[in-house]
């Protein structure tokens, strides 16, 4: 990375890293690898000046800070033959130090020497920021008390750029590596280079569209080496850091000229390299000038790769952020006004259960523990580091603790919810113990008035899937993808029901088909049918992974409406449709066995489902396996959810692990038979769609 950065500094600014006034900063130096490599790389004659004045680094954790100090001074001594204290390493949280945003760091708690170093660094003009900032995109467990904290100044800058430009609703851009990109972009001089090795999700994820637009606007050239290894995203090649997320090296060049041309993006990936070792060898052996880069032209939605040419942009938008936010009806330009992600609890083991009484017991315990902590806190004014670990703490819950809000169990909060495809669970639906409810309160008002919501899987993993439901649903319905949705109705604060299909949408469709008899319910059904159409899904496969769906106008509107209506009736009423006539085989228990061991396995070659040691369901129609929802078919979702698994939460595992398949066996058999009917009939309708051409 250092050699490549040097190449780019020369190419763009006619200088070398070794030259005077090229100041280099590693903002998350860890044990100092980049700085020691830099010392090794720079020529001896310029090193003393660079070392004393123009190489800087920061570290927030005490142990790596000391190690970095030792490593850097040792490397310098080895090369120069003299020991020299390295005075340009700061023990500081880089992201707090945002003097460029007008916010000075609170330096009270720092040593005099460290404070002087930070001030000195802040006065320097930095031309190169190089590093390996933390790659975790998501926040960590609140119980560990090491969760990524908030950074008001840097997060404000993110809000005004990466988030502002994003069309995604879930703008998860306040993660550590985005913060470091934001910080570095602002910290750099007008002319400078950012060289980071980070999480690679910014290259392709939908949520990063705003990020891509911002860097496109703020830099003049970008080089990306995509090292793959996105294990979670299904990439089976090795990961250079042995982590689950993909990794990329980026070089971004900032160049302030009067007549700036649009940013040029160069992309290179390494699919041919299968192992982490070959990738590491590639990084260390390759010169940037020799790497084969593809010049990428961003599309209008700021997609950089996997852009597919089709007419998606010309279709009718089903939802968009603008329509959701506008106050005036005449500004609405999408078929549905409101859309929402599903409920995020951050403590599923606590707040979901197949048993109403177990959820009651769990939540009684939970609130007792919470209130006991609350009282302890009032009495002793203790810090949250001594909070009991017996319950799962989250940011929202800690807020309630700070506010001294007594939480009381309310039986009415226990509701039936759509947890996974065709699997309902009781949910303790309450804003204090559900981390995010998004717009769900506007979809299901206080009394949980009836509504119908088209939920669908949103993200790059697995295929596009959808189910309509009349229940509150989880963000993880289609795990590992997120669950997005648009409801038929929405409710205002007073509980007044409002059509969620806009007048604009109705007018577009009535005008297109020249039929004023078309209703909003027809549109709801039509949408549901179209989104099931295999031809639609394959044509727009890539679009559906990163954009909100759009609606084509198909011939014979009414036929699609009817298909949508039939599918909706099947899917909403899946618990009451006629059970499919599967053959049930029961064999006697072995002599010494008290209860059969649960298996819950599908055997697709034998068209059977093995429930436990003694019971098998046979003659599953082949077509039923084809009704896929993400990575599993409908029947497999049920089998997966009713397995006996050890809860991840230690308290739940110890005190409330009451689920036994045997208690639900008959219920599961009944459900499987009914969902078998749903699967067969759904696939029959989908086949009719395919055959209609």
Ligand X SMILES: C[S@@+](CC[C@H](N)C(=O)[O-])C[C@H]1O[C@@H](n2cnc3c(N)ncnc32)[C@H](O)[C@@H]1O
Which residues in this chain contact ligand X in the complex, by CB under 6 A?
28-34, 58-61, 64, 93-95, 132-134
- Judge contact between 254 and 220, C-beta under 8 A: yes
Choose between 182 and 632: whose C-beta lies nearer to ligand X. 182
Structure-token pair, residue 539: 């044509």
Choose between 180 and 366: whose C-beta lies nearer to ligand X. 180
| Calpha distance 165→198 (Å, rounded) | 21
**Shortest distance, position 273 Cβ to ligand X, whole Å:** 21
**Shortest distance, position 534 Cβ to ligand X, whole Å:** 44
| Calpha distance 506→511 (Å, rounded) | 8
Choose between 134 and 621: whose C-beta lies nearer to ligand X. 134
| Calpha distance 162→155 (Å, rounded) | 10
| Calpha distance 159→166 (Å, rounded) | 10
- Judge contact between 336 and 501, C-beta under 8 A: yes
Q: Label residue 268 left, alpha or beta by phi (over 0 means left) and psi (-120 to 50 means alpha).
A: beta
| Calpha distance 200→135 (Å, rounded) | 9
Centre a 10 Å sphere on the Cβ of residue 221 and count the other Cβ atoms it contains: 18
- Which single residue brings its beta carbon nearest to ligand X? 30
**Shortest distance, position 136 Cβ to ligand X, whole Å:** 9
| Calpha distance 87→118 (Å, rounded) | 10
SS3 483: strand
**Shortest distance, position 157 Cβ to ligand X, whole Å:** 15
**480: preceding bond cis by omega (within 30 degrees):** yes
SS3 384: helix
Centre a 10 Å sphere on the Cβ of residue 21 and count the other Cβ atoms it contains: 11
DSSP 619: -
- Antiparallel, parallel or unpaired: β 466-469 and 294-296: unpaired
Half-sphere exposure of 392 (CA within 13 A, CB side): 22
Choose between 179 and 674: whose C-beta lies nearer to ligand X. 179
DSSP lists the bridge partners of residue 479 as none
Choose between 72 and 639: whose C-beta lies nearer to ligand X. 72
Choose between 183 and 444: whose C-beta lies nearer to ligand X. 183
**Shortest distance, position 190 Cβ to ligand X, whole Å:** 24
Please enumerate in sequence order all residues whose Cβ is within 8 A of that of 328, keeping only pairs 6 or more positions apart, or say none.
none
Classify burial at 62, counting beta carbons within 10 Å of its beta carbon; exposed 0-12, middle 13-18, buried 19 or more. exposed
| Calpha distance 422→472 (Å, rounded) | 13
**Shortest distance, position 183 Cβ to ligand X, whole Å:** 8
**Shortest distance, position 25 Cβ to ligand X, whole Å:** 11
Choose between 28 and 249: whose C-beta lies nearer to ligand X. 28
| Calpha distance 225→270 (Å, rounded) | 8
**Shortest distance, position 462 Cβ to ligand X, whole Å:** 30
**Shortest distance, position 33 Cβ to ligand X, whole Å:** 3
**Shortest distance, position 105 Cβ to ligand X, whole Å:** 11
Name residue, tokens 């090794």: 40
**Shortest distance, position 176 Cβ to ligand X, whole Å:** 6
- Judge contact between 226 and 200, C-beta under 8 A: yes
Choose between 94 and 201: whose C-beta lies nearer to ligand X. 94
**Shortest distance, position 110 Cβ to ligand X, whole Å:** 14
Choose between 28 and 203: whose C-beta lies nearer to ligand X. 28
Cα distance from N-terminal residue to C-terminal residue, the chain: 53
Helices (H), 381-480: 395-402, 440-443
Choose between 93 and 499: whose C-beta lies nearer to ligand X. 93
Choose between 69 and 390: whose C-beta lies nearer to ligand X. 69
Choose between 68 and 363: whose C-beta lies nearer to ligand X. 68
């Amino acid at each position: 990375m250092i050699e490549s950065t040097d190449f780019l500094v020369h190419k763009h600014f006619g200088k070398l890293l070794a030259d005077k006034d090229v100041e280099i900063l590693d903002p998350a130096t860890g044990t100092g690898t980049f700085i020691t490599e830099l010392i090794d790389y720079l020529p001896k004659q310029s090193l003393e000046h660079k070392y004393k004045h123009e190489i800087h680094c920061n570290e927030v954790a005490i142990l790596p800070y000391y190690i970095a100090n030792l490593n850097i001074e040792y490397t310098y001594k080895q090369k120069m033959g003299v020991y020299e204290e390295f005075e340009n390493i700061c023990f500081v949280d880089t992201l707090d130090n945002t003097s460029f945003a007008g916010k000075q760091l609170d330096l009270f708690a720092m040593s005099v020497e460290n404070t002087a170093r930070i001030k000195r660094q802040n006065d320097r003009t930095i031309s190169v920021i190089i590093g390996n900032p933390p790659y975790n995109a998501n926040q960590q467990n609140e119980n560990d008390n090491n969760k990524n904290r908030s950074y008001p100044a840097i997060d404000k800058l993110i809000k005004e750029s990466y988030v502002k430009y994003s069309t995604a609703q879930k703008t998860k851009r306040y993660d550590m590596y985005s913060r470091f990109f934001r910080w570095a972009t602002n910290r750099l001089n007008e002319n400078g280079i950012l060289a980071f090795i980070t999480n690679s999700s910014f290259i392709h994820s939908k949520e990063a569209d705003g990020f891509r637009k911002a860097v496109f606007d703020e830099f003049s050239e970008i080089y990306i080496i995509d090292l793959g290894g996105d294990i979670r995203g299904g990439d089976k090649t090795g990961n250079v850091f042995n982590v689950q997320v993909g990794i990329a090296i980026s070089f971004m060049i900032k160049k302030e000229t009067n007549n700036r041309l649009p940013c040029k993006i160069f992309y290179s990936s390494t699919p041919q390299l299968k192992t982490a070792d070959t990738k590491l060898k590639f990084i260390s052996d390759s010169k940037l000038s020799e790497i084969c880069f593809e010049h990428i032209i961003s599309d209008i939605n700021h997609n950089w790769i996997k852009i597919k040419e089709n007419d998606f942009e010309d279709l009718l938008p089903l939802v968009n952020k603008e329509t959701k936010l506008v106050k005036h009806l005449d500004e609405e330009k999408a078929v549905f006004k409101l859309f929402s992600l599903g409920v995020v609890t951050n403590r599923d083991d606590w707040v979901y259960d197949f048993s109403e009484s177990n959820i009651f017991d769990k939540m009684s315990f939970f609130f007792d523990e919470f209130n006991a902590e609350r009282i302890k806190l009032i009495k002793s004014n203790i810090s949250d580091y001594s909070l009991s670990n017996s319950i799962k703490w989250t940011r929202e819950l800690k807020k309630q603790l700070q506010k001294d809000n007594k939480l009381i169990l309310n039986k009415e909060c226990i509701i039936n919810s759509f947890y996974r495809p065709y699997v309902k669970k009781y949910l303790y639906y309450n804003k204090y113990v559900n981390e995010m409810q998004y717009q769900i309160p506007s979809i299901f008002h206080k009394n949980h008035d009836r509504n119908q919501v088209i939920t669908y899987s949103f993200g790059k993993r697995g295929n596009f899937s959808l189910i309509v439901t009349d229940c509150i649903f989880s963000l993880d319905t289609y795990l590992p993808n997120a669950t997005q949705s648009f409801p038929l109705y929405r409710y205002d604060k007073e509980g007044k029901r409002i059509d969620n299909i806009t007048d604009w949408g109705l007018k577009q469709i009535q005008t297109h088909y020249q039929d004023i008899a078309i209703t909003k319910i027809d549109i709801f059904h039509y949408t549901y049918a179209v989104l099931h159409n295999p031809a639609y899904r394959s044509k727009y496969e890539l679009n559906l992974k990163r954009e909100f769906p759009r609606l084509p106008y198909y011939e014979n509107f009414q036929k699609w409406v009817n298909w949508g209506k039939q599918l909706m009736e099947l899917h909403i009423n899946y618990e009451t449709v006629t059970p499919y006539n599967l053959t049930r085989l029961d064999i006697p228990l072995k002599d010494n066995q008290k209860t059969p061991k649960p298996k819950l396995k599908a055997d697709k070659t034998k068209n059977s489902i093995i429930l436990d040691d003694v019971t098998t369901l046979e003659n599953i129609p082949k077509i039923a396996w084809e009704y896929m929802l993400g990575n599993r078919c409908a029947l497999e979702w049920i089998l997966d959810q009713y397995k006996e698994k050890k809860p991840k939460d230690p308290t739940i595992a110890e005190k409330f692990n009451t689920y036994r398949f045997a208690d639900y066996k008959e219920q599961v058999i009944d459900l499987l038979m009914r969902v078998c009917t749903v699967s067969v009939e759904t696939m029959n309708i989908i086949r009719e769609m395919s055959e209609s051409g």
